[in-house]
A and B are shown apart, each in its own frame.
Chain A
């Protein structure tokens, strides 16, 4: 990346990913120390009750990983992971809600659902990142985030294990940044500073 953008006033960084995104997260998160904002992860996962994703991520980062339960407060400095089999929604009073309604893009949690909800609540105070995946989920959500004045970042499909998802986004909207894994780290670590 030529120069680091200056992003301020960010309250939430929301990251969506599907197949091939866990690797990126496990490279990215350990290097981050922040935080002046909340990090929310919406990753496609098997519908089972196990909490392996939370555990995997928790041992790799010094940022506290909160177990997401309905109406938990969304606070800066923490990581929140959408639980399996629920859509994750955002309330105006900075709480998270869960929802078991129909799958969207064959997925629950769906990235579109969370992105759209976050766009509605956080508007320009939102930075969204879409990672690797073999699904069209995320594109519509990124469109909503752009429309609400948020910042849209897409993983460079060249660097994605499954380029379909980021490519689909790039083809359907103008991303603010298209970044490789390393640049992604640089980018996130300069938010709000």
Chain B
């Protein structure tokens, strides 16, 4: 199997920035290297130079590369206990506002956004909510917009849903057809999808809740801190920031402006 070395990885990062303006220099090298190795293997390159020249000369291939090196694995109601806390503790507080704005940063194929819509619907808050969902990868956003997921995943998602405190029959949220589950359009009515790069794009609204789960793990510390500043700038006073179960704002210069919600990976902006 062809493997790239550290120097080649840096060459690729530099060239991609020069040719396309995408800056991967703040990405975790350990993960990025694995993803590029995987791409070399998947697309059958004989060596690094071949990959590099294709990336340089074919913008469509570069787009494909971005789609492949980002990790898009996701689930509905991933970490059910986290969703339980949203349901019972966080959303009821935000729900007292006349209007709710939520941002899913790095939403991937949208499973997290549909899970949120289900929570909001059950709390009777969906009608006054707006869910902004963004990702760097255009392909996953297309999937997310459709709200169609593999039917074979529904057993697991239904279990997650119940473990998160869901009481309904999960299957009433979708229609099964040809091996796919299409989620009710009522859930997606309040969703807005768009491409947004956490490295280079700025704040675009003020939110009551921002979820950025399992995205920062692909960044190095400096880029994580930079993204946290962006979230801070995009949060209303007393708004909440939710990260993945193994991510933290501890050690970030921003930690003093936030108060952790018990032991959850949820922080409230206090100043």
Q: Which residues of A contact B (CB under 8 A)?
A: 49, 68-71, 83, 86, 89-92, 95, 97-102, 113, 117, 120-121
Q: How far is the CA of A38 from the CA of B245 in the complex (A)?
A: 23
Query: Residues of B within 8 Å of A, CB-based: how many?
Result: 24
A97 touches B31 (CB 8 A): yes
**Contact string, B31-51, partner A, CB cutoff 8 A, digits 1/0?**
101110000000000000000
- Assess whether B187 is interfacial by the CB under 8 Å rule: no
B142 at the interface (CB under 8 A from A): no
A residues near B247, Cβ cutoff 8 Å: 69-70
Closest CB in chain B relative to A91 CB, distance in Å: 5
In the assembled complex, the Cα of A90 lies from the Cα of B218 at a distance in Å of 12
Contact of B29 with A92 in the complex, beta carbons under 8 Å: yes
- Give the residue name and chain of the A residue nearest to B215 (CB): A100
For this complex, 12 residue pairs linking A to B, each with C-beta atoms less than 8 Å apart, are: A69-B246, A70-B217, A71-B220, A86-B246, A89-B34, A91-B30, A97-B217, A99-B30, A99-B34, A100-B71, A117-B34, A121-B30
Contacts of A71 in B (CB 8 A): 220-221, 224
**Which residues from chain B contact A102 at a C-beta distance below 8 Å?**
73
Which residues of B lie under 8 Å from residue A68 when comparing CB positions?
A: 246
Q: Let me know if A70 and B79 touch, CB within 8 A.
A: no
- B81 touching A97, Cβ below 8 Å: no
A98 x B217 contact (CB < 8 A): yes
Dominant secondary structure of chain B at its interface with chain A: helix
Give CA–CA (A71, B28) in the complex, Å. Answer: 9
- The reply to whether B34 and A101 contact each other, CB–CB distance below 8 Å, is yes
- The reply to whether A99 and B79 form a contact with Cβ atoms under 8 Å apart is no
A113 to B29, CA, bound (A): 14
Chain B minimum-CB-distance residue to A92: B29
User: Judging by beta carbons under 8 Å apart, are A101 and B29 in contact?
Assistant: no
| Chain A residue contacts of B79, Cβ below 8 A | 49
Q: Whose C-beta in chain B lies nearest to the C-beta of A71?
A: B221
Cα A26 to Cα B29 in complex, Å, equals 33
Picked from A49, A69, A70, A86, the residue with its CB within 8 Å of the CB of B81 is A49
* B73 proximity list for chain A (CB < 8 A): 100-102
In the complex, B266 has a CB within 8 A of chain A = no
Q: How far is the CA of A117 from the CA of B71 in the complex (A)?
A: 17
| Contacting residues, chain B, for A89 (C-beta < 8 A) | 28, 30-31, 34
Contacts of A70 in B (CB 8 A): 216-217, 244, 246-248
Given contacts A49-B79, A49-B81, A70-B217, A99 and B246 within 8 Å (CB-CB):
no
Chain A, Cβ-Cβ closest to B247 = A70
Q: Does B214 lie at the interface of the complex (its beta carbon under 8 Å from any beta carbon of A)?
A: yes
Residues of B within 8 A of A86 (CB): 217, 246
Contacts of B6 in A (CB 8 A): 92
Q: Which residues of A contact B33 (CB under 8 A)?
A: 120
Specify which chain A residues have a CB less than 8 angstroms from the CB of B220 in the assembled complex: 71, 91
Q: What residues of B have a CB within 8 angstroms of the CB of A90 in the complex? A: 30
Alpha-carbon separation in the docked complex, A91 to B219 (Å): 11
For the complex, what is the distance from the CA of A83 to the CA of B33, rounded to whole Å? 21
Q: Identify the 3 closest CB pairs spanning chains A and B, nearest first.
A: A89-B30, A101-B71, A70-B217
B14 to chain A, nearest CB (A): 17
| B224 neighbours in A (Cβ, 8 Å) | 71
In the complex, A83 Cα to B248 Cα: how many Å?
A: 15
Chain A residues with CB under 8 A of B248: 69-70
Known: A71-B224, A91-B30, A120-B33. 15 other contacts (CB 8 A): A49-B79, A49-B245, A69-B247, A70-B244, A70-B246, A83-B246, A86-B246, A89-B28, A97-B30, A98-B246, A99-B30, A99-B217, A99-B218, A100-B71, A101-B35
